[in-house]
């Protein structure tokens, strides 16, 4: 038995990014997200259409009329600029008229719609008028003459109605989206519970019946699942009881035969019968393991490398390669049984066995390879009960890998089979950590 240990160099940042992308991909495909999209998108579209209509029918019209009114007033002031009562006119029109103004700090009008409208209106006035703005006023003046500057308060154009409309539109969209999210989330809770129960039941874990809640369609689905769940459990219980009874009944005569073989004088015959009895006992134990109703164990903290090394002590043909070590939580007894079953199978057919442990992307991978004869069977056939994996050696019950599949599935793991680079079979156990 050989032990090798080295550190694996990995691109952790790339793994993290891939993991986040994978999680977001799964999240974006969920029923909750899609339902919220279905509700939110029409709301947003309606709000956008409302804003467009508001601009076209209200705000643009208001700005157009404001621009026209201001330009007309400035036109009146220009016509009366030599009159003695011009300042009275300006005061009445709420326009400041001055011949001395520093426009060096003034800036271009940011309201491009109003700027466009006011310039179109000012074109009707003789001269080349320009419009600027400071903090509180719009500034109108003739660029050619620069005789008088007209200051119009911004409050004549700007209105809180527009800002209020936008805020109300955004607030309504957020409130409706939030209400939709909470409502849809509540509706799909029964489906989430059904999904959890289904996954657990699929791994062989005992699960209770679900209380039918939610919409009528979801309640009907839960009732159908409960009926299926009860029927399958009843069938499995009958199978377990039958196989357990048969195995128990067979053990009794085997025990009697084992006691009687001491009376046989022929040592060769006695050893042959004894070996056959031992093989039959092993077969019956496999049957009992296969039909055993596995219970959920408590999680145990282990060191991944120590776990592999402790198992390896029982196998002389084994070479161990540990790429990375970490403390994780697993159901130690179940995983130990699964790994040892795989090693027992390899030990029957191979002269050399290789086991390696890797931690990749939040998964613990245990690879077991051998240089045996291998197999031509598919993965589905290998894990099928009573199917023997070796094409050359007719040994075992054909239940070893089925038991392994059952244990790994119970722990939410995966079991993969490939051709080994050493010539035999490669079995990979993948566990989420």
Distance, C-alpha 111 to centroid of its chain = 45
Q: Decide which of 13 and 68 is more confident.
A: 68
> Is residue 96 pLDDT above 50, yes or no?
yes
Q: Decide which of 245 and 187 is more confident.
A: 187
- Distance separating alpha carbons of residues 398 and 202, to the nearest angstrom: 22
For 369-415, write each residue's pLDDT tens digit.
999 888 888 777 787 766 655 544 445 555 668 778 888 887 888 88
Strand partners, 131: 140
Average pLDDT of the chain is 75
Is the whole-model pTM more than 0.75?
A: no
Domains annotated on the chain, with CATH: 216-291 (1.10.287), 300-432 (3.30.565.10)
For 55-93, write each residue's pLDDT tens digit.
666 666 677 777 777 777 777 777 766 665 666 656 666
Question: How many Cα atoms occupy the beta-carbon half-sphere of 254 within 13 Å?
Answer: 18
For 214-272, write each residue's pLDDT tens digit.
778 888 888 988 888 888 878 777 766 776 666 666 777 777 777 777 777 777 777 77
For 319-367, write each residue's pLDDT tens digit.
888 777 888 888 888 888 889 889 988 888 888 999 998 888 888 999 9
φ, ψ dihedrals at 8, nearest 5°: -90, 125
Which pLDDT value is given to residue 386? 60
Question: 334 with 411: CB under 8 angstroms?
Answer: yes
């Amino acid at each position: 038995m050989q032990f090798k240990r080295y550190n694996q160099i990995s691109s952790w940042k790339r793994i993290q990014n891939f993991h986040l992308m994978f999680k977001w991909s799964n999240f974006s495909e969920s029923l909750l997200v899609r339902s919220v999209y279905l509700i939110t998108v029409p709301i947003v579209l309606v709000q956008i259409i409302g804003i467009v209509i508001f601009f076209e029918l209200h705000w643009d019209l208001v700005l157009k009329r404001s621009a026209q009114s201001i330009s007309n007033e400035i036109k009146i002031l220009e016509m009366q600029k030599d009159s003695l009562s011009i300042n009275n006119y300006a005061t009445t029109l709420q326009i400041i008229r001055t011949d001395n103004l520093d426009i060096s700090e003034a800036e271009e009008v940011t309201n491009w719609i109003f700027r466009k409208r006011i310039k179109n209106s000012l074109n009707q006035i003789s001269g080349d008028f320009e419009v600027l703005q400071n903090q509180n006023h719009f500034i109108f003046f003739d660029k050619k003459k620069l005789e008088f500057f007209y200051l119009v308060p911004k409050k004549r154009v700007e209105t809180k109605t527009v800002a209020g409309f936008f805020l109300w539109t955004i607030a309504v969209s957020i409130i409706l989206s939030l209400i939709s999210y909470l409502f849809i989330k509540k509706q799909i809770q029964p489906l989430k519970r059904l999904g959890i129960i289904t996954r657990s039941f699929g791994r062989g874990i005992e699960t209770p019946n679900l209380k039918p809640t939610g919409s009528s369609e979801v309640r009907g689905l839960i009732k159908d699942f409960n009926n299926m769940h009860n029927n399958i459990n009843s069938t499995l219980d009958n199978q377990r009881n039958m196989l357990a009874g048969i195995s128990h009944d067979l053990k009794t005569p085997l025990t009697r035969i084992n006691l009687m073989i001491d009376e046989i004088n022929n040592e060769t015959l006695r050893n042959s019968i004894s070996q056959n009895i031992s093989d039959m006992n092993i077969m019956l134990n496999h049957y009992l393991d296969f039909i055993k109703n596995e219970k959920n164990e408590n999680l145990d903290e282990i060191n991944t490398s120590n776990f592999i090394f402790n198992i390896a002590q029982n196998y002389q043909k084994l070479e161990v390669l540990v790429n990375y070590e970490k403390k994780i939580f697993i159901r130690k007894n179940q995983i130990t049984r699964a790994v040892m079953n795989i090693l027992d199978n390899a030990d029957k057919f191979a002269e050399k066995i290789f086991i390696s442990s890797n931690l990749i992307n939040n998964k613990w991978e245990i690879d077991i390879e051998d240089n045996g004869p291998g197999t031509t069977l598919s993965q589905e056939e290998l894990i099928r009960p009573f199917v023997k994996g070796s094409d050359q050696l007719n040994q075992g019950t054909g239940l070893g890998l089925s038991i392994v599949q059952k244990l790994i599935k119970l722990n939410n793991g995966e079991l993969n089979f490939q051709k080994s680079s050493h010539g035999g079979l490669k079995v990979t156990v993948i566990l989420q950590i």
